[in-house]
Structure 1
Amino acid sequence: MANTEDSTGGLGATQQSGASFNRRVVLDVIRREGQASRKDIGDRVGLSPQAVANITQELESLGLIVSQRITGRRVRGQPPIAFSINPEGGDAIGFSLEPQRVSAALVSLVGEVLARDEERFDTSDPDRVLAVMTRLSRELMARARDPKRLWGIGVALPGPFDVPGMSFVGPTAFEGWRNLQLLTSLEQAMGLPVFYNTDSVAGALGEMLFGVAAPLSDFFYLHLSVGLGGVLLVDRSAYRGAAGNATEIGHVPVAPRGRPCYCGSEGCLERYLSLHALSEYMHGAVAPELGAETVKALLTAEDPHAVGWCRQAGPYLRDAICMIENLFDPEAVVLGGTGPRLLWDRLVAEAGPLRPSVRRASPLRILISEQDGDSALLGAAVLPIYELLSPRLHAAAATLAHHPAHVALAVTRDEK
């Protein structure tokens, strides 16, 4: 099991230590462009023609990309070769874990959801969560187009990680858990590598690869779920911070002498802007969490309590956007999470007009996800592919010819 690194960046590195970064950059360019020649790639990322040739050859040998001659261009000699993502290049399993809910999906390299399932139950017992995840993994494996090209399992779950007094504390986290040992047990049970990251990082990755953030290089992603998370993307790479817990915006105090927070502080943003805050407003502190469909139905019916909460939460969103813009100057603030799109629409309406900030002249300040709650699930499924692109990719390519089902597993073990 491995906590993942950040995702792709914009310009290639020139040192051998940047091999992993360069492969991710090249794959990202091909994904963003849809089809790109070696020259196109080199022009975009600043790598030498030989470096681009080596990387595309490696990616093609693993079946992650496919090549074809470009027709229609007037050039001397043979038409150039263009590369695109191979939709048949393999699948991965993604999990999005929340208090009271486990969602799972089988996802292709191009973000197509091939199968999915969801279960709601008390997730405070890690053993029960492990049993459900193992069963769902086996069911999804059985539906993979080619089980030999199932690259691994990615898991998105609430952070922060490894912070005493904050991790696994409170109803917006996994109360009752002590660590993430169950993910190691899942890896052992399934014989596939398991990678994990915060739901906000996974959500940002999902939006960057398959959603509204695809054209952006520098953006801030705000993840609204049971709690509230965020992540800053710089050159399409997640800023991690000293211990990997950067931009934990849900625990930024916004209300002096405000509501006590489970982290030990008071007046934290997620106490006012989260699905748990909505549930608490409507039904009290012991109420069950509201699912996306329930929230959508309430807002569609103009339920006065749901609408009243949005009216109260909107100003907190307005202040949060102003703070994010003045601190980081992103191209846009991308709004996603496991809540329905309709909830974000209502909150943005209640947050208007936005406060002046360094982005005041920008025509693009807010983008709302079109994934309708699936950003983290899609991003989680991509984690194994991005971790596969390690400096030992040549070893994986050699292994592929003999044991295709265990390529990602071999790379993971070798990297540890």
Structure 2
Amino acid sequence: MGDFNQSVVLEAVRQSAEGLSRIELAAATGLSAQTVTNITRRLLDDGFIREAGRTINGPGKPRVTLRLVPDSRFSVGVHLDPAIMTFVLLDLSGAVVRRMSVRTPAKEPRQIVAAMATTIEALITASGVDRTRIAGVGVAAPGPLDVEKGTVIDPPKLLGWHRVPLRAVLAEATGMPVVLEKDTTAAAVGELWRRRASADDSFVFVYLGTGIGAAVARDGRAIPGSTRNIGEVGHIIVDPDGPACTCGSRGCVEVVCTPQAIVEQAERAGVFRDDREGSDVEAVDGRFTALCERAAAGDASAVGVLRQAAVHMSVLTAALTNMLDVDRVVFGGPFWSRLAAVYLGEIPERLARASATRAVRELPVDGTVVGDDVGAVGAGCVVLDSVLSPRASVLLLDG
């Protein structure tokens, strides 16, 4: 109970940009004044919070404002993507202190994990942060995952990754605790940490990376699913007349909405000559960037391809929001910024027409507040969240 209450108080301070007094903390948390005093004394001694001046609010003694000490703890976040690996060092507030990115090497798992460990070490060294203040490493990886065993199981665009024990191998290589999380769920955690929304907020996070995925947040927490593999949306049909999919259906998200699928549609539409060398993720990324640049410059054919992609994405988004009944939609991921202008111009109106709750409320559509590095930032926030955020499960008795 003491650890839980301490987490509750620390979370309340973290969520408050201006800080809170002990009296305000007691009101916000429902804890007694004496309990708050005892907890804040421990947090001050441990360096998590600091006293930041006094404020006068009516009669009585001035109140001492308590604020978070962001550099009291840190975490490392890693996003494993088939094209690029992104690394960030976060402070306790979730702010990025240092960032690095490297091309994902040949898909052989040992080479990739070795590159991860080397870059993490370089990131920490360049930051000058004391390693003893780093709570751990979070890795956001494409699913499916076996989170209990810490293994990555046959992700579709990482060939050779058959039950790779990523958590254990990376922990041994870095000498730090490692948390493994699905990339989409990690992104939702990052959004929750950085947006500072209300505690009862709920949203679906649509993740636009090399593949397309989704995550759900409700009551201020990301919902992981029974096996922690929630959000596999690749075989939801968004265009019944679309291309054939490996699953046997036609027009699935996997063959219509991904960057590779959009590039192929652009090639069929004549936006590009069909002279792309190879279909590896790096080649697709380059052509996708060129497509979005042409659309931004006003190329009608390129704009048409992206608008049609937005139509398909709105079908997926409507299916998710009608099923999950969330308060809003958040788009993000490494490909989001290139699509944002077209998608935000098309999807909200289409979603409003397709929403089952349109007579009750509006359904806002936003881009992530975190930016393109939401996967890596989210992975780092997963570490901070697992170490510092209050969890009711700790109050349950064993057996």
Q: Do they superpose with TM above 0.5?
A: yes
TM-score (norm 1): 0.78
Assess, with a 3 A threshold, how the Cα gap between structure 1 residues 345 and 80 changes in structure 2: closer, same or farther: same
Q: What are the residue-to-residue correspondences of 1:297-376 with 2, within 5 Å?
A: 297-303=293-299, 306-351=302-347, 352-354=349-351, 355-360=353-358, 361-376=360-375
Question: What amino acid sits opposite 1:289 in the alignment?
Answer: V
Matches for 1:122-201 after TM superposition, within 5 Å: 122-147=105-130, 148-162=132-146, 167-171=153-157, 174-201=158-185
Which residue in the other structure is 1:106 paired with? 89
Paired with 1:264 and 1:56, the residues of 2 have a C-alpha distance of 59
| Residue type at the aligned position of 2:317 | I
**Aligned mates of 2:322, 2:244 — CA distance in 1:** 27
Secondary structure of 1:117's aligned partner: strand
How many residues are treated as equivalent by the alignment? 370
In the TM superposition, residue 391 of structure 1 has moved relative to its aligned partner by: 9.1
Change (3 A) 1:309 1:293: closer
Is residue 2:249 matched to residue 1:249? no
8 Å contact kept, 2:78–2:376: yes
Residue 402 of structure 1: aligned partner:
none
Decide whether the 8 Å contact of 1:344 with 1:368 is kept in 2. Answer: yes
SS in 1 for 2:215: strand
Alignment of structure 1 residues 202-213 onto 2, 5 Å: 202-211=186-195
Q: Deviations over 1:103-132 (max 9, x none)?
A: 112222223322222112445211111121
Tell me the percent identity.
30
Q: Distance in 2 between matches of 1:280 and 1:87?
A: 45
CA shift for structure 1 position 23 = 5.1
Work out which of the residue numbers 54, 61, 66 in structure 2 matches 1:83: 66
Structure 1 gaps of 5+ residues are: 1-15, 393-416
Whether 1:222 and 2:206 are equivalent positions in the alignment is: yes
Instruction: Classify 1:208/1:389 alpha carbon distance in 2 versus 1 (closer, same or farther; 3 Å).
Output: closer
CA shift, 1:159, in A, is 1.7
Post-superposition Cα deviations, 1:59-97, rounded to whole Å, max 9, x if no partner, equal 4444333234531322413x3343322122132211111
Q: TM-score, normalised by structure 2?
A: 0.80
Q: Displacement of 1:233 after TM fit?
A: 0.8
Mapping for residues 402-413 of structure 1, pairs under 5 Å:
none
Contact persistence 2:238–2:252 (CA under 8 A): yes
**For residues 216 and 207 of structure 1, do their structure 2 counterparts lie closer, same or farther at Cα, with a shift above 3 Å needed?**
farther
Contact 1:325 1:359 in 2 (8 A): no
Please give the root-mean-square deviation of Cα atoms over the aligned residues, in Å: 3.2
Shift of 1:358: 4.0
Change (3 A) 1:358 1:385: same
Q: More deviation in 201-210 or 105-114?
A: 105-114
CA distance in 2, matches of 1:268, 1:23: 47
Cα deviation digits, residues 210-239 of structure 1 (max 9, x gap): 248578721111111111111111111112
What secondary structure is seen at the aligned counterpart in 2 of 1:271? helix
Q: Indicate conservation of the 8 Å contact 1:208/1:216, yes or no.
A: no
For 1:306 and 1:372, locate their aligned partners in 2 and report how far apart those are by CA, in whole Å. Answer: 24
In structure 2, how many angstroms separate the alpha carbons of the residues matched to 1:178 and 1:387? 27
Opposite residue 279 of structure 2, the aligned amino acid is V
C-alpha distance in structure 1 between counterparts of 2:251 and 2:13, whole Å: 44
Q: Describe the shift of the 1:261–1:59 C-alpha distance in structure 2 as closer, same or farther (beyond 3 A).
A: farther
Q: What residue identity is the alignment partner of 1:199?
A: D
Task: Assess if the C-alpha contact under 8 Å between 2:8 and 2:390 holds in 1.
Answer: no
1:286 to 279, 283, 287: 279
- 2:378 aligns to what? 379
Rounded to whole Å, the distance in 1 between the matches of 2:233 and 2:28 is 33
Whether the 8 Å contact between 1:207 and 1:214 is mirrored in structure 2 is no
Please say if residues 100 and 289 of structure 1, whose CA atoms lie closer than 8 Å, have aligned partners that are also in contact.
Answer: no
Deviation at 1:316, TM superposition (A): 1.9
Residue by residue over 1:12-50, the C-alpha shift from the partner in whole angstroms, topping out at 9 and shown as x without a partner, is xxxx4x955x55544433222211234433433444445
Distance 2:159 2:49 in 1: 42
User: How far 1:306 sits from its partner (Å)?
Assistant: 4.1
Q: Which residue of 2 aligns with 1:28?
A: 11
The answer for unaligned runs of 5 or more in structure 2 is 268-275, 392-399
Whole-angstrom CA distance in 2 between matches of 1:31 and 1:391: 12
Is the 8 Å Cα contact of residues 7 and 390 (structure 2) preserved in structure 1?
no
- Deviation string, structure 1 residues 132-181 (Cα, Å, up to 9, x no partner): 11111111111234313122211111123249xx942423xx22101242
Would the alpha carbon gap of residues 196 and 177 (structure 1) be closer, same or farther in structure 2, given more than 3 Å must change?
A: same
